[in-house]
Amino acid sequence: MENKLFIYNTLSRKKELFEPINPPHAGMYVCGPTVYGDGHLGHARSAINFDLVFRYLQHLGYTVRYVRNITDVGHLENDADTGEDKIAKKARLEQLEPMEVVQYFTNRYHKNMEQLNVLSPSIEPRASGHIIEQVKMAEDILASGLAYESGGSVYFDVEKYNKQYHYGKLSGRVIEDLMANTRELDGQTEKRNPFDFALWKKAQPEHIMRWPSRWSDGFPGWHLECSAMSAKYLGERFDIHGGGMDLLFPHHESEIAQSVAANRTEPVKYWMHNNMITVNGQKMGKSLGNFITLNEFFSGEHPSLTQAYSPMTIRFFILQAHYRSTLDFSNEALQGAEKGLSRLVNARKTLEKLRPSDTSTADIASLKQACYDAMNDDFNSPIVIANLFEAVRIINSVNDGKEKLSTPDLTTLQETFTTFMDDILGLTSEESAAGDSGVLEQLMQLILELRKNARAAKDFATSDKIRDELARAGIVVKDTKDGAVWGRE
Ligand code: ZN
């Protein structure tokens, strides 16, 4: 492969050359949402950052199997294995089946992802669909002697594991600090140490989501699903594991320990973590009152928002920051992103109508290389965007007759611009974005209405003209027994 891609590995704390275990295949696992509420900016950031990784690996020619899970059981309110299951709690409050909550918010999450032009993962497994695999893994860990059964539950023995391996290698924590900083909590007398984590929890009588096992009727611990499902679909050792930095500890640390205990192998070659979104410098969270859902961003209906923001503006805003930097939300920053994106969209239109000259005054080959260099340097999207803005400057300058581009340079510029803007950054133009404000749909309904009227009046010249012109614009009209429907070619 001509491009040498470097990825910052959280485990080694340095940038490493990307060399997949089994080229040209690349396996990637990213922790998906726990579906008990609408997606927010943090969900969008993780999904968009790893969408960038997915798109670029494919662009480089890898066959990528991208697994992003849906957590629908076992994620308790408190990381220390206490509190109610988040999904079960929502179900109780809404008087629904837990799986109704899961389906409802999964559908809404998918809609948001489509609006943000986030590609679907290759596989989207659910924790509740992989109970057998999780029970098997808990058994393997028990057999290794690194877990113990207590009162119908099974816990991972962190202290014992740490004597043979290193618990804390990913997050940089040491067990002595954990011991000093973890308090004994109520209801945790079953554990040998407060930082031991559940592989299997016996269900209390009121707990709805439960499955039989030889230990008890219960449910798997949250960390176990990702270990079991990544091994099932990507193998016991795979290339990339991603997620938000808030998942580094205890979730990902525990995933490593589980896999090493069960399979005797380090599960992941490259650990990647995206940074958090802050609001005026503060962490974003439901309890802090600065929590805005994606649907609220798209509609503008939230007291902290001065206007609605399109999904592509949100996507561009996120990609303007490197994934390992914090990203601070403000209306001003989003308005800046909106302006920046429209400059790119307008330049693309101008680029299509530029005429070549005999010579060039701009160095397009270097511009193209700079875009690749930025991506190869740990997916540096802000540098790619800066280079696209340099392209915008050149485009406008050529359009004004101040600079010239030869035919090959113009072709290279067009290819580079669309490759990076559309294929890699995934910034579709606002008109073609799935999540635009419905203007396109309204216009299409109006056009189809006019065509229907023309046909009713036997004015076939007009109805055919409408159909043919739409076809030229890449829109296909089909007549069904329920009336005409339209779609893109
Ligand atoms: Zn996970």
CATH code for position 291: 1.10.730
Q: Are residues 108 and 207 in the same domain?
A: yes
Summarize pLDDT for 250-285 with one digit per residue, the tens.
999 999 999 999 999 999 999 999 999 998 778 776
Position 457 scores a pLDDT of 92
For the cut 60, the answer to whether the pLDDT of residue 298 exceeds it is: yes
Separation in Å, CA 201 to CA 75, 114, 221, 257, 459: 11, 35, 7, 18, 70
Q: Are residues 331 and 349 in the same domain?
A: yes
Other beta carbons less than 10 A from residue 150's beta carbon: 16
Give the position of tokens 């057999």: 143
Summarize pLDDT for 205-223 with one digit per residue, the tens.
888 889 999 999 999 999 9
Name 418's bridge partners.
none
Q: Are residues 246 and 284 in the same domain?
A: no
Position 187 scores a pLDDT of 55
Is 310 among the domain residues?
yes
Q: Are residues 114 and 206 in the same domain?
A: yes
Summarize pLDDT for 128-159 with one digit per residue, the tens.
999 999 999 999 999 999 999 999 999 999 99
Render 391-450 in DSSP notation, one character per residue. HHHHHHHHHTTSS--BHHHHHHHHHHHHIIIIIIS----TTT-TTS-SHHHHHHHHHHHH
**Of all residues in the chain, what percent carry a pLDDT higher than 90?**
72
Distance 415 CA to ligand 1 centre (A): 37
Is 112 among the domain residues?
yes
Distance 231 CA to ligand 1 centre (A): 12
Q: Are residues 420 and 439 in the same domain?
A: no
Is 144 among the domain residues?
yes
Cβ atoms 122, 65 nearer than 8 A: yes
Distance 251 CA to ligand 1 centre (A): 6
Domain extent for 313: 279-424
Give the position of tokens 């877990």: 147
* DSSP 3-state of 110: helix
CATH code for position 172: 3.40.50.620
Distance 30 CA to ligand 1 centre (A): 7
Q: Are residues 240 and 174 in the same domain?
A: yes
Is 228 among the domain residues?
yes
Separation in Å, CA 430 to CA 100, 343, 434, 477: 33, 12, 9, 22
Q: How confident is the model at residue 435 (pLDDT cuts 50, 70, 90)?
A: very low
| Mean pLDDT, rounded, for 24-36 | 95
Is 305 among the domain residues?
yes
Distance 188 CA to ligand 1 centre (A): 23
Last residue of a domain, one of 257, 274, 291: 274
Q: Are residues 180 and 240 in the same domain?
A: yes
Provide the number of structural domains found in the chain: 3
Which range has the worst mean pLDDT, 74-78, 247-251, 466-470? 74-78
Distance 252 CA to ligand 1 centre (A): 7
Summarize pLDDT for 151-208 with one digit per residue, the tens.
999 999 999 999 999 999 999 988 877 777 666 555 557 899 989 999 999 998 888 8
Task: Return the structure tokens found at 455.
Answer: 């046909």
Last residue of a domain, one of 371, 391, 424: 424
Other beta carbons less than 10 A from residue 13's beta carbon: 9
Q: Are residues 261 and 391 in the same domain?
A: no
Distance 225 CA to ligand 1 centre (A): 7
For the cut 50, the answer to whether the pLDDT of residue 434 exceeds it is: no
Last residue of a domain, one of 424, 454, 471: 424
175 HSE (CA, 13 A, CB side): 16
**What is the C-alpha to C-alpha distance for residues 165 and 462, in angstroms, rounded to an integer?**
76
Q: Are residues 420 and 434 in the same domain?
A: no
Q: Are residues 158 and 40 in the same domain?
A: yes
Q: Are residues 403 and 446 in the same domain?
A: no
Burial class (CB in 10 A: 0-12, 13-18, 19+), 452: middle
Residue 124: partners with Cβ closer than 8 Å, 6 or more residues away = 32, 67, 68, 69, 70
Distance 71 CA to ligand 1 centre (A): 8
Distance 243 CA to ligand 1 centre (A): 7
pTM for this prediction: 0.86
Distance 443 CA to ligand 1 centre (A): 43
